[in-house]
Structure 1
Amino acid sequence: MQPEAPDNNDLIYGLNDRPSPAPATLAAIQHVLAAFVGIITPPLIIGSALGLGAYLPYLISMALMVSGVGTFIQARRPFGIGAGMICLQGTSFAFLGAVLSAGFMVKQRGGSPEDIMAMVFGVCFFGAIVQIVLSRFIGQLRRIITPLVTGIVITLIGVSLIKVGVTDLGGGFNAPDFGEPINLALGVFVLLVIILLNRSSPPWVRLSAIIIGLAVGSIAAWFCGKLTPHAISGVALISMPMPFRFGFNFDWSAFLPVALIYLISSIETVGDLTANCMLSREPIKGPGYIARLKGGVLGDGVSCMIAATFSAFPNTTFAQNNGVIQLTGVASRYVGLYIGAILFLLGLFPVIGAILQQIPKPVLGGATLVMFGSVAAAGVRILAQSTLDRRSMLIIATSFGVGLGIAAQPTLLHHLPQLVQNLFDSAITSGGLTAIAMCLLLPESKETLAEKKQEMEALEH
């Protein structure tokens, strides 16, 4: 028998309530503020690392615009695509490692920035198809990609990205002033500001901590001479999306790591959607719940396909916006339509990207260090909720050992075929595949199997 949804008395607006435009717009702006930095940071990092500076305003515009379209789809749920909830779509940090690897592979071959983006968006487009197919088999996937595997991969993603944050904090890749005391001081200053704001009482100060930290850090950099604002010229007034603007390319060695992250991202989305259902006072069992999960993951896949088509990096359902639902008491999916419209309008104006591009690397590094550390901490939290018996500890130890070991010594595989190198030279893919293989090969205890059987029964029709 399907349990009834809990009482809605702690929600101001339930899932299907229609708030008037004023409160709906206010709630939508709060969601946008909570997610804005997360949406625009991956394009900033990827563009900086791969030498795509000339296209950064366009890439940031497309990231915002596609996030708006994806959020609208998730809330509106056309043709069963989407969860029918506030599922804010934003650029996923999980794909950074795989995207950077694909970009550097093209760069080492002598490829131009356009060649890099043709390859990246090509493999991401086909990866989105993988996620769309996976959305039909959510129940079966949860038998393979367990919370243990998800926790390991997310922790490895965070740990791997911390190097990127520290590099920016020092001044950026190959910066002539890398590691200068002024760079370190700026990065640590931004880090401290964000920490202090996160410890404050007002909820909206905490939600805006990263935006405030970046703003204060940029002002400090200006006083220190590390930020010289330059006039924005040559930037189009309105950014018009163009499908496959940079062409289309594909390479299996670049695709396989991306496909693995799409697999992990799908399972992570299931967790975020479950939390959203709980906050929205919707059932977390039964056919309706399963339909939401399938629609939500399908919405992620469609959003990612749109993103790759219009030169934006892969999207995912942002977990932090569940916190906004809890704080505001507004779970109405109609607010999601407002969020989508606001993000789309922000993406129309590339001047926003041109301004954000001027944020000094140490300032950005101080902020991303917290964000990437939070990714790793989220993975640790998932692991802590798993049953950490001898089998689990052995899987964790081996996966971390393989993943972080290869990341620390990438030349270890240089005598192997290029395909193997490209697939396993990332801590995420090597550690993630190790975790999946060990979970499949090592038998579980009878007690653990009984617990999982009960969990699976809750996910089946």
Structure 2
Amino acid sequence: MTTSHAETRPEDAILPPAQMVGYGFQHILSMFGGVIAVPIIIGGAAGLEPGDQALLVSCALFVSGLATLLQTIGVPFFGSQLPLVQGISFASVSTMLTIITSAEDGETGLREVLGAVIVASLIGLGVAPFFSRIVRFFPPVVTGTIIAVIGLSLMPVAARWITGQEFIAGKENPDYLDIGNIGLAIFTLLAVLIMSKIPVLSRLAILLGLVVGTVAAFIVGKASFDKVGDANILAVPTPFAFGTPLFATGAIVSMTIVMIVIMVETTADVLAVGEVVGTKVDSRRVGDGLRADMLSSAIAPVFNSFPATAFAQNVGLVALTGIKSRFVVAAGGVVLAVLGLSPVLAAVIGVIPLPVLGGAGIVLFGTVASSGIRTLSKVDYDNNNNMIVVATALAFGLIPVVASDFWEEFPEWFITIFHSGISAASIVAVLLNLFFNVFLPGTPEEPTDLAAAPARMVREDEAEVLGEGGAFHAGEPVDPTD
């Protein structure tokens, strides 16, 4: 069943209700660990009691659900109407931690964080119309590189879910690199791969893989329902539960830089999911997506939460399952909001062990990277510098992944921008594309090995013409410049 408009926009397809809920639930399971991680980290840094940390988690789920509905369903000028799941942004964590640790106490720092998020989001909302116009500087050589970096930069997240952190609260983690956790992740990965091979189950492979992996975790004693019984059945988020926000100039400036980074990442995610879905994404649609992001982020502190942005791992799920409907993701948004209102349900979902999520994440994040490679395969590399654009942008995008302290001695504002591999790759790819293909377009007179077209084999008919004197023979590689 589809709407008449779905013939031109695949994202408008409407599936039967049971399928929408099932596929939507799959989206939530695949990103659940990520959406609760930020409030847990921030709550711990602020020194909150376990009950208050649980409140932060519930609020994060509630806000993420509302933000997902705004992004997918949309209202005039707000929402890209694409299958994008919204969650609490990881890009803001380091800055929020700095604000909290710089304050006189944890609660004051948390209130300064909330105030900075409100002001910075409103600034982002104001510049969104101008920011969206840069979409014309994102040809396939740029978008393909960014999409590949999105997937590759997420792989350490999957690895950490599997291995755990080496240190927790300054103490050595006894479960770090536990062979049982690694085995559980591999088992989940195998379950996902097997489900993907069965036609009738392939589109629910991630969901079923998570279920199988969690059951296995219960069997081997790595999962339990102990914390479920302590959770409340219903809890409505209280606005400004930690007090009214505080507005510190330094915190606002730092958070504004973070918002610019988030806008770069959101632009990349919108373009990435548009590529996966196969739908038109213009500057107006990017602008609507950015405005939805910024509005959600501005409202989030009212409900004791933090900046909301698109989750890249769910782009991989769209590519993996082939389910392109935005209404499926909207159904997932409803699930998120309900989980935020019911801590006991959130606790049930929370029993999924991180190694299980990591096993499924290997496929999800790898799918995002492969989507970028597919886009890059369409790029023309003959007698131009596109290979250099891709190579350099990929390198800058992966520097924070392979050497997290690489930029440590640079100014704080620079670290905020380039510590995110996605924003670093986006900026470098756009600038190099402008330099090589816009400001100085054309083929170099003497191209380098990177700029020249790749060698190909001589055909039989060419060998007859070119082979006079024995210089060329059929089946041998030939440089096109020769």
Q: Deviations over 1:136-181 (max 9, x none)?
A: 3477311234443333333333322211211221234422121122
Q: 1:215 aligns with which of 197, 211, 227?
A: 211
- Measure, in 2, the Cα distance between the counterparts of 1:23 and 1:374: 23
> What root-mean-square deviation, in Å, do the aligned CA atoms of Structure 1 and Structure 2 show?
4.1
Is 1:301 the equivalent of 2:298? no
Query: Secondary structure, in 3 states, of the residue corresponding to 1:208?
Result: helix
User: Equivalent residue for 1:440?
Assistant: 434
Gaps (5+ residues) in structure 1? 1-10, 279-283, 449-461
User: Equivalent residue for 1:453?
Assistant: none
1:314 to 1:191, Cα distance in 2 relative to 1, 3 A = same
- Measure, in 2, the Cα distance between the counterparts of 1:190 and 1:71: 27
- Measure, in 1, the Cα distance between the counterparts of 2:329 and 2:356: 31
Gaps (5+ residues) in structure 2? 8-13, 168-172, 444-482
Counterpart residue identity of residue 204, structure 2: S
Q: Which shows bigger deviation, 178-187 or 151-160?
A: 151-160
Deviation at 1:372, TM superposition (A): 2.5
User: Equivalent residue for 2:345?
Assistant: 352
Deviation at 1:378, TM superposition (A): 3.0
User: Equivalent residue for 1:370?
Assistant: 363
Does the CA contact (< 8 Å) of 2:100 and 2:113 recur in 1? no
Q: Which shows bigger deviation, 364-373 or 238-247?
A: 238-247
Counterpart residue identity of residue 419, structure 2: D
Larger radius of gyration: 2
Counterpart residue identity of residue 208, structure 1: L
Counterpart residue identity of residue 315, structure 1: T
Does the CA contact (< 8 Å) of 1:127 and 1:258 recur in 2? yes
1:126 to 1:365, Cα distance in 2 relative to 1, 3 A = farther
1:441 to 1:82, Cα distance in 2 relative to 1, 3 A = same
Where relative contact order (Cα < 8 A, 6+ residues apart) is larger, the structure is 1
Deviation at 1:232, TM superposition (A): 3.1
Counterpart residue identity of residue 427, structure 1: G
Q: 2:33 aligns with which of 35, 41, 62?
A: 41
1:339 to 1:194, Cα distance in 2 relative to 1, 3 A = closer
Q: Deviations over 1:300-352 (max 9, x none)?
A: 43334334543155133864786799769x88x7x887665554334311112
- Measure, in 1, the Cα distance between the counterparts of 2:427 and 2:182: 36
- Measure, in 2, the Cα distance between the counterparts of 1:323 and 1:159: 15
Deviation at 1:297, TM superposition (A): 4.3
User: Equivalent residue for 1:206?
Assistant: 202
Deviation at 1:128, TM superposition (A): 4.0
Q: 1:192 aligns with which of 187, 190, 193?
A: 190
Is 1:224 the equivalent of 2:224? no
1:106 to 1:167, Cα distance in 2 relative to 1, 3 A = farther
Deviation at 1:190, TM superposition (A): 1.0
Going by fraction, where is helix more abundant, 1 or 2?
1
1:425 to 1:229, Cα distance in 2 relative to 1, 3 A = same
1:194 to 1:66, Cα distance in 2 relative to 1, 3 A = same
Counterpart residue identity of residue 132, structure 1: L
Deviation at 1:398, TM superposition (A): 1.6
1:402 to 1:38, Cα distance in 2 relative to 1, 3 A = same
User: Equivalent residue for 2:59?
Assistant: 62
Is 1:418 the equivalent of 2:409? no
Query: Secondary structure, in 3 states, of the residue corresponding to 1:394?
Result: helix
Deviation at 1:396, TM superposition (A): 1.8
- Measure, in 2, the Cα distance between the counterparts of 1:388 and 1:376: 20
Deviation at 1:218, TM superposition (A): 2.1
Does the CA contact (< 8 Å) of 2:66 and 2:333 recur in 1? yes
Q: Deviations over 1:347-372 (max 9, x none)?
A: 31111222333332322322223323
User: Structure 2 length normalisation: TM-score?
Assistant: 0.70
User: Equivalent residue for 2:85?
Assistant: 90
Q: Which shows bigger deviation, 219-228 or 64-73?
A: 64-73
Deviation at 1:441, TM superposition (A): 2.8
Alignment length (residue pairs): 417
- Measure, in 2, the Cα distance between the counterparts of 1:346 and 1:135: 30
Deviation at 1:397, TM superposition (A): 1.5
- Measure, in 1, the Cα distance between the counterparts of 2:156 and 2:321: 32
Query: Secondary structure, in 3 states, of the residue corresponding to 2:292?
Result: helix
1:226 to 1:110, Cα distance in 2 relative to 1, 3 A = farther
1:99 to 1:294, Cα distance in 2 relative to 1, 3 A = closer
Q: Deviations over 1:224-244 (max 9, x none)?
A: 222243143553332322345
- Measure, in 1, the Cα distance between the counterparts of 2:206 and 2:107: 31
Query: Secondary structure, in 3 states, of the residue corresponding to 2:85?
Result: strand
User: Equivalent residue for 1:361?
Assistant: 354
Counterpart residue identity of residue 268, structure 1: D
Is 1:404 the equivalent of 2:398? yes
Is 1:268 the equivalent of 2:269? yes
Deviation at 1:107, TM superposition (A): 7.0
1:26 to 1:402, Cα distance in 2 relative to 1, 3 A = closer
1:431 to 1:265, Cα distance in 2 relative to 1, 3 A = same
Deviation at 1:394, TM superposition (A): 0.9
Counterpart residue identity of residue 155, structure 1: A
1:363 to 1:27, Cα distance in 2 relative to 1, 3 A = closer
Counterpart residue identity of residue 347, structure 2: A
